[in-house]
Each structure stands twice: as C-alpha cells, then as structure tokens.
Structure 1
Amino acid sequence: MKITTLYIISLLFGIFSTQSNAQTYSNYGIKITETKAECTGNSLYITLDIDLSGIDIKSRDGLILTPIVHSKGQELELPLVFLSGKNKYKAIQRSETFGNQIPKPFFMIRIGKDTPRNIHYSYTLPYQPWMENSGIFLKEELSGCADCKKAEFIIQLLSQIRLPLEPPLVAYITPPVETVKSRKFEGKAYLDFPTGKSVVLPSFSKNPEELQKIRNMINEIKDNRYAAITSIDLTGFASPEGPSILNERLSKDRSFALQKYLQTNYNLNSGIFNVSWKGEDWEGLKKEIIASNSRYKEALLDIIDSSVTGSTKNAQIKNLFKGSDYRMLLDKYYTRLRRVEYTLNYTIKAFSVTEGIEILKTAPSQMSLNEMFLVANTYPTGSKEFNDVFDIAVHNYPLDPIANINAGAVEILKNNLSQAHRYLDKYTENPQAWNNLGVLYMMEGNYEKAERFFRKAYPVNKKEAAHNLKQLRYHKLMKK
C-alpha cells in the first residue's frame, strides 16, 4: 500500500455541521467539491459531492473510492463507490457478482461518454463517542485487469467531525432547609411624653402615627394563621441635653412604657419582652452631625469624640452655640435621638410543596428559599412558571447570594445577559456562582474568562463545568 500526501482543506463550521466547500483533487482527475458531516440526535450524516468530469482511468481498470471515518485507534469504512473502465465493467457483468473482488458498492458507475458529471454521495450511520474529533478520509484503490491492486492513495477530505453545539448548563443551587423559619420586623418609635410622665398616651402629640406603625406590624403577624410572635425587643434612647442620670432614667422609662402599652392592648405575656436602655445616644448624634452641613460640624465632632463625661460634653456644646443655633440643634437633631427601637421576632410554619404552590401566589415572603426552590422544581426547567418562582425568590430575598445566583441562571437562559450580570457580578468570589459566570462570559464570546470560571467551578459543579468546558472548545474551534 502506498499513501500519498494528505491534503488538508479549510473548514466552515455551522452550528449543527462540519462542512467544506473547498475542492480536493484525486490522483485520477476526480474532484471532491463539497463535504459535509452533520450530527443530529444519535446519527451522523455524511455527504460528498464528487465531480467526475475530469476522471482519467484506463478501460481495463477500476477505481474504488471508500470514505472512511478515522480517529486515533479506530476507523470505519463506509459503503464504497466503484468507478469502472469499459472493459472492466463488462468483465464484472459477465461474472454477475463481485465475489471476492470488492464488497457490493454504494455506486457502480461505468466510465464512458455517458458518465454522469457529478455524484452526490449521502450516507447515515449511528454516531458513536469515538467519532468525536475524527476525520473523514477517502481511500482510492486502483485495480487492473487481473484484479490486482496497482496503487492506493488516501486524501483527507475533512479534518474533523464534531458534535453540534449543545446549550450550556447553568447550575441551580438548592438553598439550605430552614429548621425554624425565624423572621422579624424592626422599627423606631419616636414617642412623646408629657413633662414628668412616663406613660404612653396614644393621642398625645405625634404618638398616634408612631403607635400605628407598631400596631400594623403586630396585627399583620397576629392575623397570619401561619405565624407566631416569639419575642419583642425594646431598647430606649435619650438625647444628651440635661443631666446624664436623668437621661438614663428617661431611656429606661420609655422602654417600659411601650412594653406596658403593648401588653395592655394585645394581651401579650410579659415573658416575651426583652427590655433594655442605652441612656444618652452620643453615637446617634455623631451620625446625625456627620451627615449634616452644620457650620459647627468639626467642633461638635471633637466634643462628641472626647473622653469627658456626658454632662461635660453637653455643657461644652451649649457654650459652642449662640442663641437660636442651639435651639435648632435641639429641634433638628436631638428629637431623633429620643426613641424606642423595637424588634418583633416571629416564626412561620414550614410549608409542604402543595401548600407552597398556593402561598407563593398570595404571600411569598412567608416562604423560605428552600420551599420556593421545591415549588420551582414542580415545573419543567426553563418554563415560564419555573422562571417566575426564581424571580419571586430574588425579589423577596434581594441580598441572598443563592437567590441572586439562581436568578442569574434564569436570565442567562432567557438570553437577558445584562440582567444576569446585575445578579452575578456581585459574587465573583463565590464558588457557587463561578459556573454561571462562565456561561455568561461564554455567551458573550469572552472565552478566556469563561474558561477560567469553568475550571474554578469544576470542584463545585463537576457535571455542569465539564459539559461547558467541552462546549467551550467547540466554540473556540468554530471561531478559527
């Protein structure tokens, strides 16, 4: 057997096929004008367009063309094309069988004045894993009158066969189960008390509005058949004008006054309250001054940061301000320091998937991320219902990394890449986000970044990262 030079032709890659339009010349005047290998499902479709207009073989000879799928260590010969000279053709007809000469051909063509100019060769075979990155070759064998091989040449028609590109795999993270679904409401009550009084008067000054905020929170929990209040934290604060001892007592009295009001109006057990007080709120005043444009800002901050007692600080502040400026300080900043901060802690029962499907429509904030995830998986992946659940999840848990990473996966598959960036770019150091970031960059054509993220993601998302690295190689080859 004699093998000639291998002719490498250029490739044009389509999404589902590998195709060449360059002409490849045979040693006998044959031209292969187009070669195409297409993968669909589990089948490989191979077509060759063969131009016979320049064929040059003797009457007594036969030319056997055998397409071959070849990979490292494995190859498969496809049905052959037999091109026969006039005398050779007659000899074969007389024998009425090919016998041991050659297998039954796919095409049997007599070369002469009626020879067709072109042959369209088309063959389908089952795709096998070893065929990935294999090449299509054409073997030429010339036989003479005594059926002896005169020569054999191989011409490479297609450098590689590749599987069609498959969609990338995003990774959805299963949120952890919340053993106890603890929730809380937080707020600040700026209550006013008559001079010398430490009882909450619901109709006094701005108390109606401040108390209504707390009532709304408590009523929402008490009206929720799935929720139960577990504790209420109250912390009192006072502004720093006047004696420090008096301010300490005022902050304490405000906390206990609000506790008494809530117990009386809601029949709450005293055991659920956690009451504390901080006295003068110098830290709060510091934040207010830093955010202000007061002409006394630097001097005020020096006094607040000094190590003297609260009463001394108050006296220094009084000396700093002149006339109405001090009244402005009291009215604009000090009033915001007199408050009770409250936290209503409560729990919500765990929902079954069936319950969750209904709750998600009416009160999704009562569901955990894990419960939402389980509901999402009752729908086909990528369906509108599936995607909507993850949109609801990130809306209710906007700061949760898992909610954002899953929402990013949804936006990637919707091809909304800018929105996917908004969800994922915050988590470039989070291993759970790396696979999805890789998919995002691959879809944008930034293959270097994509590969870096896929390789980092492999220990966390082996299945998805391995698949995506494979597809990334195909994308790179298609760009060449």
Structure 2
Amino acid sequence: MNIFRLSILSSLFLFCSLSLLAQDFRGAFHIEHKEFREENDSIHIRFRLQVDSRAVPSCSFMIFEPELTDDNQNRFVFPYIQLTGEERANLNRRWFAICSEKWLSEYETPYLQINVGRYAGDTLEYAFSIPHEEWMDDARLVLKQEAYDCAGELHLYTYTLANRVDMSAREPYAVKPLLAIVAPEDKAKTRSRQGSAFLDFQVNRTNIQTDFRRNPVELGKINEAMLDVMGNSDARITGLFIEGYASPEGGYTNNERLAQGRAVALKDYMRNRYALSDRIFTVRSVAEDWEGLKTRVESNQSLPQRSEILAIIDSNDAPDVKERRLKGLSVYSRLLRDIFPELRRVEYQIDYAVRSYDNIEAKTLAESNPEDLSQAELYRVAESYGKDSPEYMHIITETIPKYYGDDAVALNNAAALLIENNELNTAYRLLDKVRDIPVVWNNLGVVYLLQGNLDEAEKYLSQAHQAGVSEASHNQSELAAKRADEVKRARKR
C-alpha cells in the first residue's frame, strides 16, 4: 500500500474512530470478466467487481488496488478503488471540510469511489490502460485488498487475476521511410554529335574529291550532322574535333603523313563549306590503327589464324615488322579486303552549347527534343506536373536517366521513386552504380530496411546521418522501431 496514503487514512481514523462501534465484516464480493491484454503497444486491464451490500460495514471501508509485478521486482500500481460504508462516508465528508489545504494537496484521490448502501449491492466496472514495457510481458496482474474495520485495524489480502498478459496478434511493423531526392544544379549545356567518314582518296593523295567513289555519301553524312546543329537556332558550335586513321598497310612514315593529311583535308573542307573559324578545330591522327584492327579481329570468331594475328598485334615489334609478319600469314589477303578498308577513316565530333530555357519552353521541348534540356530543366518540368502525376514519374525515372545515365543525382532520384513504387531490385541496381554521394547512402539504407537487412540499413543510414542528410535521422528512428518490433514478435513466438 502507498505509505503516504496509509498515513492519510490513519488521520481519518484518529478523527472519527471514537464515534464508531466495533463491527464484524459480513457478506462478500466477486470479481468477474477479468481482462489483461497487450494491444497497440499498451497494456489494458479490465474487470468487474460485484460487492454485496453487507461486505462493507457502515463504519468501515475497503480499498482495491490492481498491480502488475514480476519476479525481478518490477512493479506498476494502478489507481485504486475505495468502497466506503454509509457512516464512514459521512465522517469522511466532515473531515474533508475541516482539513488543511496542504493535506488536501497531498491526498491521492481514488479512481473509483462508491458509498455502499445498506440494503443493495453495487457492481463496479474497472478499466485502465498504460504504455507497454518489455518487462510486463512476464508480469502477473494481482488485486490487493485493504479492509479497515470499525476499530481501525487493517486486513490485507492479495488475489491473482492473471498470471500472464494476453499478447495480441501483431502484424510486422511497416516502416515509413523518407527518401532523399536532390534538385539538380543548373549547368552549362554542352552536347556532342559524333560520326565516322570512310572517305576514298587516290593512292598516296590527301586531297578530298567530292565526287570520287563513295565520297558523296560519306560527305553527305557529315553535312547532315552539321546542318542539324547549325539549323538549331538555340545551339552554338563550340568546337570541332577531327582525327584521321590509316590502316597498317605500307610504310609507317607514309601512313603517318596520309592520316594527318587526310584529317587536315576534312578540316579544310568543313571550314570552307561552313565559313568556320580555324580556332574551333582540333586535328589529330593515328598513323596505323592497330587498336582498331585488334577490336575487329577479336569480334570476328570465324576469321582463320585469329590467334596468330592477335599475337602479332600484341607483340612489341615495330609497326613495319608487324606488317611484314602479317603478310606472311595466308589470311593476309582477307585482311586487306575485309578489314583494312574499315580502318581508313576520319572520325569527327561536333561540340555545341544549347541555350537555357524557361519552364514554358522546356515543357514543350520535353516532349519533342528532351536532349536539348539540362537535367535541371527536365527536373523543373517534372515538378510542374506535381509529384503525384504520371508525367513526374516518367520524366524522373525514364527521361532523365536516358540522357544523364552516368549522373549520380539522376540515378539517385530515379531510384527514390522506384523505391516508393516498391521496385526495390531495380532501384538497388541504379544506386549501386553511384555509391559515393550521401543521399545515395540514405536511399540504399532504405532499400535494405525495406528488405529486412537491418544491419546493412544501419550502416548506410549512419553514414548518411553523419554526412548531414536530414532524412537519415527519421529513417534511423524507423529502423529502431523495426528492431524493437522484431524483438516483441520473437518474444511472443
């Protein structure tokens, strides 16, 4: 019993015991419909106390106090019930009328208080809930009775209502993570248009004849690329890179001259045709394209003497020595006919910048020419549709990764939406490519959390939290709740 409450009750007895006559307890009480259960992280107790009218003499009172207790001395005492006889109730009212304010401030009011009638019994419904704690899973629910007779003597009894809490069926805790999505930075938009021209030149000549053999077709490819870029009023050419290649046929010195001269010839053709400044050109050459030869031989599984050719290419011999060794192979004529012509080419790259667009312009281009938009412009278009729209999902998960597939922010944002859509494996593959930025650590942690790999989730969420990712703190709380839920579920099993 609460020691302070005992002292208060003793005061009541000192006040009124002289006017009371000794009287025996008669009658009985009954406890029915006992309930002791856990649900929604709370402990709920409920019982019905039926008291016979003769159980509490007119000059006495009883207290019933529910209590949780276990073998490790953990204890929780619930609010008490007080049953008071008729004469005792009158005396108590007189006491409360004259007692001090200090006494009243320290008095613990009963949860239920009934003045028991002389001729009729009472039925009390007691219900109370408290937050669940782990030790309560092994606790007993007891009801302590304190009966004070008319002479002021205290009689104590304890009744066990339940030996163990009834644990409710528990669904696994469903985590509610926060995903980190980053708005891309505005950057200068640079684009490139690349191609190869297999131009035909007269023997040992470097000048371009526009109507010679297949040159009209090859030059037409270059002209088409240039007109596409120059016809875009929003684009500005910033550089032209040209690289000439010769095949490993003939002397190395002569091939070096041919490769360089043919690259310069294409540069002069483009500069004169389109009135371009000489400053935007970069010209290089590869005298003999042994790397190109190796790539084509490796990819041709049916080529005879393939291993011998590759051994010659990979040797440390001088280029002219390698050529003589190739000529000694029976397959050399096939190399001359089928592979060497593919090595004689000029590769080009057109670099250009595209102006920035406002959101209205960008919204139109997102449908017709998304390649002209920066990642930031595409992101703003997506946001303009609203985050719950199919357009937002399409732009973030498909359009942006298509044109910015190597960008960490692009892949992270796409993965975040895929996680929300429960496409965890696809999201993981995207995040696995760009593990070096903090927001990715947060989202990887969420993937592991949703998959139930709590140790990996903890590692990545901790890294993200230390790096200052705000969402990681919430996700660490969700991780802790998931761990606690698993412990509870294991205890129940």
TM-score, normalised to structure 2's length?
A: 0.71
Distance 2:349 2:239 in 1: 8
The counterpart of 1:50, out of the listed 40, 46, 49, is 46
Give the partner amino acid of 2:329.
L
Closer, same or farther in 2 for the Cα pair 1:34/1:307, shift >3 Å? closer
Deviation at 1:348, TM superposition (A): 1.6
The counterpart of 1:289, out of the listed 292, 297, 310, is 297
Deviation at 1:216, TM superposition (A): 3.5
**Equivalent position of 1:458 in the other structure:** 465
Deviations 1:64-90 (A, max 9, x none): 66999xxxxxxx999x674636x3699
Deviations 1:362-388 (A, max 9, x none): 322222223334444556555544433
Matches within 5 A, 1:316-327: 316-321=325-330, 325-327=331-333
Report the secondary structure of 2:287's partner residue: strand
Distance 1:166 1:393 in 2: 29
The counterpart of 2:407, out of the listed 379, 400, 403, is 400
**Equivalent position of 2:100 in the other structure:** none
The counterpart of 1:368, out of the listed 374, 384, 395, is 374
Distance 1:215 1:252 in 2: 21
Tell me how many residue pairs correspond in the alignment. Answer: 426
Give the partner amino acid of 1:348.
V
Distance 2:218 2:194 in 1: 13
Report the secondary structure of 2:241's partner residue: strand
Give the partner amino acid of 1:298.
S
Closer, same or farther in 2 for the Cα pair 1:110/1:259, shift >3 Å? farther
Matched, 1:214 2:217: no
Distance 2:450 2:64 in 1: 45
Matches within 5 A, 1:76-475: 82=81, 84=83, 87=85, 91=89, 95=93, 103=109, 105=111, 115=122, 142=146, 144=148, 167-178=176-187, 180-195=188-203, 197-293=205-301, 294-321=303-330, 325-378=331-384, 380-381=386-387, 383-391=389-397, 392-428=399-435, 431-475=438-482
Distance 2:66 2:96 in 1: 16
Give the partner amino acid of 1:412.
I
| Aligned Cα root-mean-square deviation (Å) | 4.5
Deviations 1:280-312 (A, max 9, x none): 112222232333333323332333344444333
Distance 1:213 1:106 in 2: 94
Closer, same or farther in 2 for the Cα pair 1:166/1:280, shift >3 Å? closer
Contact conserved, 2:116 with 2:122, CA < 8 A, in 1? Answer: yes
**Equivalent position of 1:41 in the other structure:** none
**Equivalent position of 1:23 in the other structure:** none
Deviation at 1:259, TM superposition (A): 2.0
Structure 1 unmatched runs, 5+: 4-27, 39-45, 69-75, 124-130
Identity of aligned residues (%): 27
Deviation at 1:185, TM superposition (A): 1.9
Distance 1:64 1:200 in 2: 110
**Equivalent position of 1:15 in the other structure:** none
Give the partner amino acid of 1:447.
L
Structure 2 unmatched runs, 5+: 4-29, 69-75, 98-103, 168-172
TM-score, normalised to structure 1's length?
A: 0.72
Distance 2:474 2:157 in 1: 40
Deviations 1:192-223 (A, max 9, x none): 23446544445544434433433333233223
Give the partner amino acid of 2:326.
I
Distance 1:237 1:105 in 2: 96
Matched, 1:33 2:36: yes
Distance 2:425 2:193 in 1: 33
Contact conserved, 1:185 with 1:344, CA < 8 A, in 2? Answer: yes
Structure of higher CA gyration radius: 2
Report the secondary structure of 1:186's partner residue: strand
Contact conserved, 1:88 with 1:145, CA < 8 A, in 2? Answer: no
Closer, same or farther in 2 for the Cα pair 1:48/1:299, shift >3 Å? closer
Closer, same or farther in 2 for the Cα pair 1:133/1:403, shift >3 Å? farther
Q: Which one has the bigger helix percentage?
A: 2
